[in-house]
A and B are shown apart, each in its own frame.
Chain A
Amino acid sequence: MFNKILIANRGEIAVRIIRACRELGVKTVAVYSDADRRSLHVAMADEAYHIGPPAPGESYLVIKKIIDVAKHSGAEAVHPGYGFLSEKEAFADACEKEGIVFIGPSPEAIRLMGDKITARKIAQGAKVPLVPGSEGAVTDVEAVGIAKKIGYPVMIKASAGGGGKGMRLVRKQDEFESSLRMARSEARSAFGDDSVYVEKFIEQSRHVEIQVIGDSHGNVLHLFERECSIQRRHQKVIEESPSPAIRDKMRKKMGEVAVRIAKAVSYRGAGTIEFIMDQKENFYFLEMNTRIQVEHPVTEMITGFDIVKWMIRIAAGEKLLLKQKHISMKGHALECRVYAEDPEKNFLPSPGKLEYVRSPSGPGVRDDSSIYSGYEVTSFYDPMLSKLIVWADTREEAIKKMDSVLREYIVLGVRTNIGFLRRVMGNDEFIRGEIDTGFIERHPELLKSNGNGIELALIAAALAIRNSTKEEVETATQAKVSNWKLFARKLAVSGKIAI
């Protein structure tokens, strides 16, 4: 095992990796930008080094800076987390050249799978069905032609893409040009590469992915699927495992396909094969993510398999101890990504200072986060506040638990999607498992609070104003028992006066 690992990331995933290292007895080295001196990964690591200004392009994305810190601190390996350099072949390559272990697949595997077009060819070779679309990156003119040929709706996707960046759904031809421009522009700023490809958009499709993990001895396991169909702006918001749509036979088949793809590139470490599934249970290869995923915890919860610890062990040369037949799943896990964003304003990020955070807790609850009261959500990085994961015996119980856990959450200072997430947990279609990637678009009513709590909130506000001078504490009064129930009544507001 390594003595020391550098974590080339920030936020909750850096904290997650630090915790895994501590449990393995491995020292950790953090890096931080000017915006992250107060971030938890800095305080929790054994060492921490400053690597530049807040903009990722000047800090977290600068390969030389990361390598320099690794060499100076004596870190033997680097864990890239997700995002940033995690899927950059050049980084894996640079590590290899400097004799630093890259905790992830080979540069070759990253290159093959990182280019979405090559990845499609590999999947084709492994006899995995593909969504109709362009054979490769396209010019503006070609793009229009292909879109016409395969028919609208189509998706424009960045070749170097991931995480919904540089992705646009186009339903009508007259929207195509502006969408193409924006997709290229986003791709350029996010990945430094504006090449895009075009794919048929499958209506009411599910996003289902298979977690795989391979060691350097040729063993590859799959850890079942994750259903990630609840998305906004093509980014996952709610994930779960198992998928309510997948039966054992299909699970087995998809797992085998995923392992086949991984073996085709001699895959080492944790990776995810993403599929799109239509309403007739056909599935098509979408892409492979050659890194740890944001949503890995749901898989850990149902399998008891610690993916991050095993990534590190595998990078250190250890063999996977378990065979496929030893991997089993139990119960149901759900993950909600809690964001600083405003669902009422098309999920626009809501950066700012978290004036107060009260995180939920309890049996079967896991809160992967790195926030605290006073934390500043900046616009330099993703506005995710926390990943809230629950486990329960059944999907139904997991949903109830998630709802009850979200109810415990309190965040002041920024807008969040917590209310929205609770409304999803209460939605009948969601509860029945009738979900697809168009779920949120189909349910605009979930974006807005129903205002049920306004009366109680008003009383709270009035009490706060009244007590703002005597901030300390009111003398505890004895509540008398009576039959009066607040919820059954309306407030004596003197009429609602629109201005």
Chain B
Amino acid sequence: MKLKATLGEIEEDLLLKIEDGRVSAEIGDRVYSLDVREVEPDCYLFFLNAEVHECRVSASKNSFDVSIHGRSYAVTIIDPKRLRSGQNSDRHQHGVAEILAPMPGKVVRVQTEAGATVEKGAGVVVVEAMKMQNEMKSPRDGVVVSINVKPGDTVNAGDVLATIE
């Protein structure tokens, strides 16, 4: 099957053939031929020549978190036949940076305001979680477009705390 795979910034074409426990794959100009065992659901044991590589996958929709030799890689698979798009959110496409709450917590302080100019690394919002106060910093120089929280607010993972442009 023909797929598109994205890892980090790089998107590549992927041609995959599965037969008799062997997988042949072409990624860009690189060609692989592997023996594969599915030792557990979503855990693949690859034999590349004599080399052994165990890959454990946790999947959600078509983004896959693959851990191999203790390192993990976030891979997105797109099946052109199914035209699944809109997957790579366009957050990074233009000049807006959102500051997200990485986990549930409570806002204790807001250190700037909409309209203010901030430098990369400047503190914007302080969130407390697990008794630990954590300063959310601006990822870049810019102007604060919006602050979406106030002290005392409870926030969930992924909530947009502020937007910098």
Real binding pair: no
Spell out B's residues near A (CB within 8 Å): none
Residues of A at under 8 Å CB distance from B?
none
